[in-house]
């Protein structure tokens, strides 16, 4: 259960980073690609696909 809690905590940290970047209009293509790669390493494709769609409003293939 601790591992699941750690994953959720880490995902929430990433979501906050994305929200800050979005507010600062730093969401250029290079940053999105770098972040997506980090998320893939942490969480895997399905979770990241949903996360990217929800936050950026686009599909993973657009990266």
Q: 1-13 pLDDT, tens per residue?
A: 677 788 788 888 8
* Total domains present in the chain: 1
* 21-41 pLDDT, tens digit each: 776 665 577 777 777 778 777
pLDDT at 15: 82
Tokens of 35: 């972040």
Q: Specify the pTM.
A: 0.41
Q: Which residue has the higher pLDDT, 25 or 55?
A: 55
**What residues have CB less than 8 Å from 18, skipping those under 6 apart?**
27, 35, 55, 56
Residue 40 burial by Cβ neighbours in a 10 Å radius (0-12, 13-18, 19+): middle
**Domain, as residue range, for 13:** 2-62
């Amino acid at each position: 259960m601790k591992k699941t809690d750690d994953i959720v905590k880490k995902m929430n940290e990433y979501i906050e980073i994305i929200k800050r970047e979005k507010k600062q209009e730093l969401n250029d293509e290079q940053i999105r690609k770098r972040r997506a790669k980090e998320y893939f390493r942490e969480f895997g494709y399905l979770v990241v696909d949903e996360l990217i769609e929800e936050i950026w409003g686009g599909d993973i293939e657009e990266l």
